[in-house]
Amino acid sequence: MATEIDEVYDAEAAKDQLGQTSKTVTERHYINRRLVVPDYRAATERLAPRSDPPDDSAIGL
């Protein structure tokens, strides 16, 4: 619930909903952060170019 409130409003609102006194505690223990990393393959593949077509099935694509 805290994660959803944080995404729509903010961590302060999630803290208040949970009745917490510390926003830091709420952020650390009750809000799940989504890890989103940019796709850097274009740069990293230059270091070790592939000679064969990628096998996307090996990574579940």
Between 57 and 35, the more confident residue is 35
- pLDDT the model gives residue 35: 80
pLDDT in tens, 13-35: 999 999 999 999 999 999 998 78
Average pLDDT over the chain reads 86
Q: Enter the pTM of the model.
A: 0.56
Q: What sections of the chain are H helices per DSSP?
A: 2-8, 11-18, 23-29, 41-44
